[in-house]
Amino acid sequence: MTQPFRIARGGQIDRSREIGFNFDGRTYRGHPGDTLASALLANGVRLVGRSFKYHRPRGILAAGAEEPNALIQLRRGNRTEPNIRATQIELFDGLECESQNRWPSLGFDLGAINSVFSGLFPAGFYYKTFMWPASYWLKYEAAIRRMAGMGRTAVEPDPDHYEHMHAHCDVLVIGSGPAGLMAARAAGRWGARVILCEDGPALGGSLLGERTAIEGKPAIDWVRSVEAELSGLPELRVLTRTTAFGYYDQNLITLVERVADHLPVPGPHQPRQRLWMVRARRVVLATGAIERPIVFADNDRPGIMLASAARTYTNRYGVKPGRRAVLLTNNDGAYATAFDLADAGVNIAGIVDVRPAPTGALPARARAAGMTVHAGHAVAISHGTNALTGVEIIQLNAAGDGFEGASRPLDCDVLAVSGGWNPAVHLFSQSQGKLRYDDRLAAFLPNQAAQPVTCAGAVAGHYSLAACLIDGAAAGASAAKAAGFGDGTPTAVPSVANEPEAPARTLWAIPRPAPGQGKRFVDFQNDVTVEDLALAKREGYRSVEHLKRYTTLGMGTDQGKTSNITGLAILSGIVGEPIPKVGTTTFRPPYTPVSFGAMVGPETGAHIDPVRHSAMHPWHVKAGARFVNAGLWKRPLFYPKPGETDQQAIDREVLNTRAKVGIVDVSTLGKIDIQGPDAVELLNRVYTNAWSKLEIGKSRYGLMLREDGIVFDDGTTTRLGPSHFLMTTTTVNAVRVMAWLEYWLQVQWPELKVYVASVTEQWAAAALAGPNARHVLADAVEGVDVSHAALPFMGYREGRIAGVPVRIFRISFSGELGFEVNAPADHGLAVWEALVKAGEKHGIMPYGMEALGTLRIEKGHVVGSELDGRTTPDDLGFAGMVSKTKDCLGKRSLSRPALMALDRKQLVGLMPLFKTEEIVRGSQLVANQNTRPPVPMEGMVTSNCYSATLGSSIALALVKNGRKRVGETLFAQSPLTGRSVAVKIVHHVMVDPEGARLRD
């Protein structure tokens, strides 16, 4: 017979269809509307996993997000996912999954031997193994990992895609139980923009698992009618299969919507999951409450479950959790489970009520129905191997810490346990709201909100249906009012029967029948027992936070939803202090685990960052350039020809530039347009050198310092008009320099009349360099004389190339005669092509970043790593660029003693003693390579390259007092390669030190 535990009728499943699924290699049948957990129970599968440490057989404890045991390896191949709660997996046809934490199989597990030797796995087991010889840990780790196995991640790329959504709303309602539905309806009726988010696939929350009547009809009918009304409200959005998992500052709530997890594979163009970032004016938390277990000896056998879960499986899924049930309770509410189970045909073997005299209406009803109520009794221990076969019950003493009389057995295959409720205050606590401990409910309740949030219903400690409905309506209406909608009048509340409940008896753990008999699990997922907590206390742990980490209580993927408060209460008993004094746990995001896919969203692969291309990019691609990332930019590294090695290509580009002419794309340099009567004053203040005397049509090299005197950036600035300048920055600092100028102009010097605007994107830039550069430019340009007389070194003119107006700067960083041509970006490609065409007869070749770097190093120009946030102008040989007659940013710092020290590292060049040797990048410089460590460091190599011009490896370096040490020999030691090269210190300008070439 298939599905032997399926009840003949009832439940919110689609009985017209049967679907197949596979668990641990066996196929079963279920219905649409089932979860994996309900379908497994329908098929009589109760053993679903092994515990983490002792490999004890475990079954399904809960019916929702709090499930600690039934963690499943879901799907196969590149879609496989570990640690998914069977209670939240919606069944689909063909679903394949496996249990976890078992080896070699679930039924026969070698790790279960840990249970026999459990003395070896005490609290703090991991930390204790760390303390043994370190080498042992590696061995343990491998073994522990295989035994523990918490599932496997997929090794192939995820085939699905994920989305991110940003949303704003007036009222965000989290949870769609009675309180959440009323809140959403109340706020929605006032016209507020509402988002209602529900964890499960259907609205209704706890009503789905209960057989309550609202307005004389089944609650589910009322849920449907509210749902219909909500769908007609244009400003209200319902998100099902959506978990609110994080509550951040200023009412930012993160939701994960499982768009396609209930399908075998997502549909075409359908994301698998969607991460929502919702900024809400007001939040209504209607997150309900989580039932808590009562701890007793061997309380973890498959068949032992929460009373609310047993009730939910029966009513919502039409599944009997067993054939013969015992109820263990400390409250009246759980009696409904016994009634519902009995109506479904489950034999009630007894109700074990720890209260000495349960006399309320519900116990009376139970007795009237012929059920035996064992008042003042407790379950001492459970029996069974891989599943529950019975329990021993015994009279509790008045204090609840011992027994009276003898125990007697009760046969059963399911034990429904209710130790009361913990309001699901997780999100409230994440919002920084303060909790208070309520003695009457023995629970932590929301107290003082830190953000615009209201708790409604069970999360606020209002457990009855009537209270939830009233609470929700009021919260929704007042949230709408606070957001500017309506007058706060709640909508009418439907009528419900209200059965009064007698008080509960607070009882967290039942004593063991005898010392050493059975294990009392507090945290099922991490196998933490009452005895572990006691041991940790004996070892000196008192702070809850320390105790949690030491014992791993509440540290699993379930974050202790069924164990934290119980553990805290038991600890309070052990240390003899009241619960609020012992403390509470800190709830942190995420409420339930969130996939990395949802977090990352669409920002994977090529979408991690935007890519910036210069206007000339298509030309570089066609020319076969190899590209390098410079920030977000793609820049040509070099242009290899067929058969060339990388170095040959670089050498060719360098030599051609020095002998004939090269062209390089410098569009990425930052460009800032500066205008206003105080433009010169601004330049004088931010640059070390003086700008007052710069003529119109002239450029000047400038150096910028941070306020601490360290070199920040360098570049040329050109005077285009009386109060109009164009500043250039390095590629990497383009954004930073812009924000820097804005800071000084807006915050410190608002009196300066000057505007700055970034024009990096507006201008494409090409640099010509080499002896033939002027011939190329002259052939390409119209309307301007570019002769030496008309356009001298550091001069500026405007002209036209290919009909496009261009800006021409006679500047050079290669040491060769050079020009930089700026064209409006839209025409950059046409201008570049015109220059290349004009250059053909002059031997032009494009060159890339490698050649550019080599040309700069040969000339001793800093290339980047010299500006490492530690170098002063003097360190880099720029002391002469610091004006003595005016102040500038950072200048005051230069006279601080540390920045004037005599042994500061200074920029020098390095050449190997033997030309064939290569100076390795990142080498440290030492005076004597045979000294025993610690070796005094003389400096370090900052930039290196092979110079085809000089036929030698060369480098720039920062060396202590380096300028005075030219001619000295040092050793460049590379710790990475283990190589040591003898190098000679030389002047940092290694090619054309007189600078004759660029001034011709």
Partner 1 sequence: MLLIDCPWCGPRDQREFNYGGDGTVVRPPDPSAATDEAWHDYIYIRDNPRGSHVELWQHNAGCRRWFKVRRDVVTHEMQGSAPIGRELPPKP
Q: Please say which residue, 149 or 589, places its beta carbon nearer to partner 1.
A: 589
Separation between Cα atoms, residue 558 and residue 67, nearest integer Å:
7
Count other Cβ atoms within 10 Å, centred on residue 534.
15
* CB of 735 or CB of 913, closer to partner 1: 735
Residue 470 CB, shortest distance to partner 1, in Å, is: 31
* Contact call for residue 119 and partner 1 (CB under 8 A): no
Among 421, 415, 440, which residue's Cα sits nearest to residue 352? 415
CA distance linking residue 711 with residue 244, whole number of Å: 48
Per-position x/- string for 612-631, each x denoting binding to partner 1 as judged by CB under 8 A, each - no binding:
--------------------
609 binds partner 1 (CB under 8 A): no
Find the binder of partner 1 among 12, 389, 397, 893 (CB under 8 A).
893
3-class secondary structure, 226: helix
Query: What six digits make up the tokens of 631?
Result: 């920030």
List the one residue from 750, 933, 936, 967 that touches partner 1 (CB under 8 A): 750
- Tokens 């190098």 map to which residue? 983
For partner 1, give the closer residue by CB, 744 or 793.
744
Region from 136-144, 227-235, 349-357, 739-747 binding partner 1, contact rule CB under 8 A: 739-747
Question: Collapsing DSSP states into helix, strand and coil, what is residue 23?
Answer: strand
- Please tell me whether residue 761 binds partner 1 under the rule CB under 8 A: no
Is residue 896 a contact point for partner 1 (CB under 8 A)? Answer: yes
Shortest Å distance, C-beta 247 to partner 1: 11
Stretch that binds partner 1, among 54-62, 242-250, 399-407, 918-926 (CB under 8 A): 242-250
Placement of tokens 């300048």 in the chain: 725
Which of residues 277 and 937 has its CB atom nearest to partner 1 in the complex?
Answer: 277
**37 vs 745 by CB, closer to partner 1:** 745
Residue 895 Cβ, how far from partner 1 at the closest point, in Å? 8
Phi-psi region of 143 (alpha: psi -120 to 50; beta: other; left: phi over 0): alpha
Binding status of residue 899 toward partner 1 by CB under 8 A: no
Task: Tell me the window of 287-295, 363-371, 740-748, 871-879 that interacts with partner 1 (CB under 8 A).
Answer: 740-748
| Site for partner 1 contains 277 (CB under 8 A) | yes
Q: How far is the CB of 824 from partner 1 (least distance, A)?
A: 23
CB nearer to partner 1: pick between 747 and 996: 747
* Side-chain-side CA neighbours of residue 181 (13 Å): 27
Cβ atoms of 215 and 191 closer than 8 Å: no
Distance CA 533, CA 527 (A): 11
Residue that the structure tokens 């499930």 belong to: 67
CB 854 within 8 A of CB 947: yes
Distance CA 568, CA 578 (A): 10
> What H or E segment, with its residue span, contains residue 637?
strand 633-638
Q: State the CB neighbour count (10 A cutoff) for residue 874.
A: 20
State the SS3 of 52-81. Answer: CCCCCEECCCCCCCCCCCCEEEECCHHHCE
Region from 224-232, 246-254, 641-649, 861-869 binding partner 1, contact rule CB under 8 A: 246-254
Among 16, 135, 231, 250, binds partner 1 (CB under 8 A): 250
For partner 1, which residue of 746, 929, 931, 977 counts as binding (CB under 8 A)? 746
Interior angle at CA 24, CA 208 and CA 598, nearest 5: 60
Task: Find the radius of gyration of the CA atoms of the chain.
Answer: 38
Q: How far is the CB of 982 from partner 1 (least distance, A)?
A: 40
With CB under 8 A as the contact rule, the residue among 141, 577, 603, 742 that binds partner 1 is 742
Contact 372, 351 (CB under 8 A): yes
- DSSP per-residue codes, 397-455: -TTSSSEEEEEEEEE-SEEEEE--EEE--HHHHHTTPEEEEETTTTEEEEEE-SSSEEE
Binding span for partner 1 by CB under 8 A among 23-31, 207-215, 743-751, 973-981? 743-751
CA angle 381, 383, 385 (to 5 degrees): 135
Q: Which of 252, 263, 575, 935 binds partner 1 (CB under 8 A)?
A: 252
Give the per-residue contact string, 151-180, with partner 1 (x = CB under 8 A; - = no). ---------------x--------------
CA distance 536 to 541: 6
C-beta of residue 185 within 8 angstroms of C-beta of residue 223: no
3-state DSSP call for residue 30? Answer: strand
Contact pattern for partner 1 over residues 397 through 436, marking x by CB under 8 A: -----------------------------------x----
Residue 612's identity, in one-letter code, is R
Q: Is 247 or 832 the residue whose CB approaches partner 1 more closely?
A: 247
Residues 471-510 that bind partner 1 (CB under 8 A): none
Distance CA 83, CA 556 (A): 10
Site for partner 1 in 828-887 (CB under 8 A): 887
747 binds partner 1 (CB under 8 A): yes
Of 308 and 429, CB closest to partner 1: 429
- Binding test (CB under 8 A) with partner 1, winner from 153, 604, 748, 762: 748
Would you state the structure tokens that stand for residue 946, as one six-digit string? 């092979």
**With CB under 8 A as the contact rule, which of the stretches 391-399, 460-468, 871-879, 893-901 interacts with partner 1?**
893-901
d(CA 531, CA 5): 36
Out of 110, 142, 450, 611, the only residue in the binding site for partner 1 (CB under 8 A) is 450
Q: Is the Cβ of residue 283 or residue 297 nearer to partner 1 in the bound state?
A: 283
Which stretch in 233-241, 435-443, 621-629, 891-899 sits in contact with partner 1 by CB under 8 A? 891-899
Q: Is 189 left (phi over 0), alpha (psi -120 to 50) or beta?
A: alpha
User: How many residues touch partner 1 (CB under 8 A)?
Assistant: 25
Footprint of partner 1 on 522-581 (CB under 8 A): none
Give SS3 for 846.
strand
The 10 Å Cβ neighbour count of residue 799 is 19
* Consecutive H or E run containing 819: strand 818-824
Minimal distance in Å, beta carbon 896 to partner 1?
A: 6
CB of 548 to partner 1, least distance (A): 23
Q: Tell me whether residue 251 or residue 943 sits nearer to partner 1 (CB atom).
A: 251
By CB under 8 A, name the one of 897, 933, 934, 967 that touches partner 1: 897
Q: What is the C-alpha separation between 171 and 196, in angstroms, rounded?
A: 8
Q: Would you tell me which residues interact with partner 1 (CB under 8 A)?
A: 166, 248-252, 277, 279, 432, 450, 707-708, 739, 742-743, 746-748, 750, 887, 891-893, 896-897
